[in-house]
Amino acid sequence: MKVTSGQERIAANMLQNKAGKTDLPIYSLIVVEGMRGYIIVEAEDELSCRSFISKERNIRGMLSKPLSPEEMDKLIQSSTAVQEIGKDDTVEFTSGPFKGYKARVLKVDDAKSDITVELQDVVVPIPITTKMSTAKIIKKAHAEQSE
């Protein structure tokens, strides 16, 4: 479902409280890091989900079609891989304006889920700070040091 950007956790907590008080077949709510403006709701059917989210603050509507199991796996896998990023790792951006670019990690801020990277194969290397969820590891630092 679509929610007000930056209000994903607040909306999910509100819906979680509502789910406990209703008899609608709502099975789970998922907030994926880096997926701003969206919450994933697992429900028995579309009608149950629509009635569950109707007239709630910060809820902007539903997507036109449900996510496939493959799309769900991709979202969940990318968020679990985030935890493994370390200094000097080589990453590739999977989304955002730098999609497809490779970069070396200069600094990791676990508290904010941010990484500061330096793009490779650019004329002027500039440090860029971005969310960990926009990148995936393609080479670990310790593997580079052993070569």
Cα–Cα distance between 12 and 10 in angstroms, integer?
5
Over its length of 147 residues, how does the chain's per-residue pLDDT go in tens digits?
899 888 888 888 888 888 888 888 988 888 887 778 888 888 888 888 888 888 888 888 888 888 888 888 777 665 444 457 889 999 999 888 888 999 999 999 887 888 999 999 888 888 999 988 888 888 887 754 444
Residue labelled with tokens 């930056």: 6
Written as six digits, the tokens of 118 are 């330096």
What's the confidence (pLDDT) of residue 82? 44
Cα–Cα distance between 114 and 85 in angstroms, integer?
10
- CATH topology for 84-145 is SH3 type barrels. (2.30.30)
Whole-model pTM?
0.51
List the chain domain ranges. 2-66, 84-145
CATH number of 2-66: 3.30.70.940
Q: Do domains 2-66 and 84-145 have the same CATH topology?
A: no
